[in-house]
Amino acid sequence: MHQTADQPSIVILTGAGISKESGLDTFRCADGIWNKVSLEDVATPEGFARDPDMVHGFYNARRAQLADPTLSPNAAHEALARLEREWPGEVLVVTQNIDDLHERGGSKNVLHMHGELKKVRCEGCRAVAVWDGDLGRDSACPTCGVAGAMRPHVVWFGEMPLGMERIYAALEDCALFLSVGTSGNVYPAAGFVHHVLETSGGRTVELNLEPSQGATLFAEQHYGPATEVVPAFVD
């Protein structure tokens, strides 16, 4: 569908809940990742400096899970891709997730504000590269060749999320802000609904398994598994 600039736009914020029914863990549910490993140890620059092998191991295990051929996008990812194809205006998926299930579900306009599991970054030349398999403390940069300076291309706590200028511009212009599968614990993402209310005044809708931290800020809420509530909302 050809998107025309003057048509109303949609911004969709997604979190780990949208990938849960594809078999990927969330962070703060009872069986969540942060109940198994401390985020200070594996999702901060300090943790990486303290024990790079532990952090590489944490992301290598998640990258291997993503490469599992039985893992696939679910009806919620596919419904958002359908919305992008059928909506005349721009549809931007801003995801906190580092998996690639939105792209594999057919979404084209995706912004990974917390980075991507399948990409790595060289702390020497700053180049970002696609990476399959394990990354280690001695891995060499595919761009500059220097070994020992590679890290996951992932935003850790205390680091600036990616694409913030583009995200705020989209929020200030959107007719609909849809939040899917996020607990609303992590900033700046958790503050996006507030930004919409203060700027574009767009329609705000939360689709989640249960009320998020910011639930009362949304004009509409629909609760249930993403594979049910997202297609129901989109279609």
Residue ranges of the annotated binding site for NAD(+) are: 15-34, 96-99, 181-183, 208-210, 226
Q: Which of 10, 15, 92, 205 binds ligand BV8 (CB under 6 A)?
A: 15
Give Cα 75 to chain centroid, integer Å: 17
For residue 47, the minimal CB distance to ligand BV8 (Å) is 11
What is the bridge-based pairing of β-strands 91-95 and 9-14? parallel
183 binds ligand BV8 (CB under 6 A): yes
43 binds ligand BV8 (CB under 6 A): yes
Q: Which of 47, 181, 202, 214 binds ligand BV8 (CB under 6 A)?
A: 181
What's the one-letter identity of residue 36? K
d(Cα 120, Cα 12) in Å, to the nearest integer?
A: 25
> Do residues 47 and 129 make contact, with C-beta atoms less than 8 angstroms apart?
no
**Per the annotation, where are the binding residues?**
15-34, 59, 62, 96-99, 122, 125, 141, 144, 181-183, 208-210, 226
Residues 105-134 that bind ligand BV8 (CB under 6 A): 114
Helices (H), ranges, 51-157:
52-66, 75-86, 101-104
SS3 69: coil
The catalytically annotated residue of 112, 114, 153, 222 is: 114
73 binds ligand BV8 (CB under 6 A): no
Output phi, psi for 53, to 5 deg: -65, -40
SS3 12: strand
Please confirm, yes or no, whether 194 is among the known catalytic residues: no
The residue among 14 and 139 lying less far from ligand BV8, judged by its C-beta, is: 14
Q: Half-sphere exposure (CA, 13 Å, Cβ side) for 54?
A: 15
Q: Which of 20, 63, 77, 153 binds ligand BV8 (CB under 6 A)?
A: 20
> Do residues 99 and 194 make contact, with C-beta atoms less than 8 angstroms apart?
no
> Do residues 178 and 207 make contact, with C-beta atoms less than 8 angstroms apart?
yes
Q: Which of 209, 215, 221, 233 binds ligand BV8 (CB under 6 A)?
A: 209
For residue 145, the minimal CB distance to ligand BV8 (Å) is 27
Q: Which of 5, 69, 138, 158 binds ligand BV8 (CB under 6 A)?
A: 158
For residue 229, the minimal CB distance to ligand BV8 (Å) is 7
Tokens 């609760």, residue located = 223
32 binds ligand BV8 (CB under 6 A): yes
User: Residue 99: is it exposed, middle or buried by C-beta count within 10 angstroms (0-12/13-18/19+)?
Assistant: buried
Residues at the contact surface with ligand BV8, assessed by CB under 6 A: 15-17, 20-21, 26-29, 32, 43, 96, 98, 114, 154-161, 181-183, 185-188, 208-210, 212, 225-226
